[in-house]
Amino acid sequence: MILSIESSCDDSSLALTRLADCKLLFHTKLSQDSHHSPFGGVVPEIASRLHAENLPLLLSKLTDFLRTLTPSAPLSPLKAIVIANRPGLSVTLSEGMCMANALALSLNLPLICLNHLKGHIYSLFIDTPHAHISGGLGVLLVSGGHTQILHMRDYEHITLVAQSLDDSFGESFDKVAKMLSLGYPGGPIVESYAAKHSGALLPMPIPLLRDKRLSFSFSGLKNAVRLEILKAQGITENGAQSIVEGGALEELRAQICASFQEAACAHILNKLRIYFERYGAHFTHFGVVGGASANAFLRAKIESLCHEFDKRLILAPLEFCADNAAMIGRLACEAYARRDFSPLNDTISPKSLAEDFLRDCGVGI
């Protein structure tokens, strides 16, 4: 079995995966949401310190599990140590890398360094020994740091088709929640407020609506939310206090959240429609991954689109949408089979490396 470590942002996670059949044997995770919520987003220094505290605690739990299998030598079944060393926050990636190096060196095991985003793709295949989809797999990755369309033929052929020009889908939810003083993480909070609203929506721009490029952008939509909030504050300053106090304030928040979510998801769907029309002949399945893929409104819209284009939709289990070590372990099964080992090092990267994804978006996608 292999031990995988995830510390790319604000979730500390360890997992054990059996190499023979890619079965997830053990998974543990500690979230930092309550620590970052007062600040409306992740504070890197706090995240780094908490990883330093949490990772040893998780390793102790993992060792206790292994002790039930091999009491005298609990770590002896391990065949490799796996770490997601890119992309992410440098100060948090470093914490995971320190643990990975220490374990690999002390146990004399190979080290496998992997791309965290590829791990999200493999969240679709946790507990599944066969990850290859012969007809091709299109993927939407939506998280706090990334919004991408990826195309996968197999482990070695993953093409980056489109990505955001500025904010990510998940980041925009966090920032809208912060502007409305709703807390962090913003994704589930904004979604829950949006579900409360059933009336008229505020006019929100759908980004890049007439632009046929496969790119995403959320900064303009985020600014439109800011302007709506300023408009409400302006009314308050003119004396109409009831509009943004008490129940009216909650109604306004719900209306803004619903309007924003509708426009953000419409933007995603518009770009996916272009991708389906342009490259639909090259894939039979479509997956949605990443922390923000837990959004039920977005999932329902994409399900309808897949039905329209006769594509089979596959989704990661909700517990494995956000960052986790289980998906890194599943990806590592493929790397281990290819002996794709890494030298002991402290190399981390806040961005994906150029060689991580293919860039050819032509017919040979």
Asked whether residue 347 is assigned to any structural domain, the reply reads no
Q: Note whether residue 363 is domain-resident.
A: no
Cβ count within 10 A of residue 130: 7
Burial of 237 (0-12, 13-18, 19+ CB in 10 A): exposed
CB 11 within 8 A of CB 35: no
Could you give the 3-state DSSP secondary structure of residue 176? Answer: helix
The pTM (predicted TM-score) of the whole model is: 0.93
Contact 363, 57 (CB under 8 A): no
State the virtual CA torsion across 251, 256, 259, 262 in degrees, nearest 10: -100
Q: How far apart are the first and last CA of the chain?
A: 34
Does residue 168 contact residue 218 with C-beta atoms inside 8 Å?
A: yes
Tell me which amino acid residue 342 is.
S
Strand, coil or helix: what is 14? Answer: strand
Residue with tokens 């939506």: 142
Other beta carbons within 10 Å of 303: 14
Domain assignment of residue 344, yes or no: no
Distance from C-alpha of 261 to C-alpha of 191, rounded to nearest angstrom: 7
The pLDDT value given to residue 251:
94
C-alpha triplet 221, 203, 180: angle, nearest 5°: 55
**Is 357 within a domain?**
no
Residue 64: phi, psi to the nearest 5? Answer: -60, -40
Same domain, 152 and 297: yes
Tokens of 136: 């091709």
> Amino acid letter at 102?
A
Count CB neighbours of 344 within 10 A.
Answer: 12
Alpha carbon distance 193, 258 (integer Å): 7
As for how many domains the chain has, the answer is 2
Q: What is the pLDDT of residue 234?
A: 74
For residue 14, the domain's CATH number is 3.30.420.40
pLDDT at residue number 97: 98
d(CA 61, CA 310) in angstroms, rounded, equals 44
* Whether residues 294 and 155 fall in one domain: yes
Same domain, residue pair 218 and 285: yes
Give the integer Cα–Cα distance in Å for 291 and 193.
18
Same domain, 21 and 110: yes
Is 190 part of a structural domain of the chain?
Answer: yes
Q: Quick one: 20 and 121 in the same domain?
A: yes
345 in any annotated domain: no
Judge if 87 and 210 occupy the same domain: no
Buried (b) or exposed (e) across 256-293, using 16+ Cβ within 10 A? bbbbbbbbbbbbbbbbbebbbeebbebbebbbbbbbbb
- Residues 119, 150, single domain; the answer is no
In a domain, 343, yes or no: no
Q: Are residues 225 and 194 in the same domain?
A: yes
**Rounded Cα gap, residues 125 and 178, in angstroms:** 34
Domain range holding 294?
137-315
Residue 358 belongs to some domain of the structure: no
Compute mean pLDDT per 10 residues along the chain, 365 residues long, and list them: 97 97 98 94 96 98 97 96 98 98 97 98 95 89 96 94 96 96 95 96 96 95 95 60 65 97 98 97 96 97 98 96 98 96 93 91 54
CA–CA distance, 343 with 103 (Å, rounded to integer): 13
Q: Are residues 115 and 176 located together in one domain of the fold?
A: no
- Nearest of 273, 253, 332 to residue 17 by alpha carbon: 332
Output the pLDDT for position 306.
98
pLDDT score at 245: 59
Whole-number Cα distances in Å, 43 to 5, 89, 251, 253: 21, 10, 30, 25
Considering only CA atoms, which of 158, 3, 68, 92 is closest in space to residue 349? Answer: 92
Give residue 248's pLDDT.
87
Are residues 157 and 103 both part of a single domain?
no
Are both 107 and 211 inside the same structural domain? Answer: no
Residues 106 and 216 in one domain: no
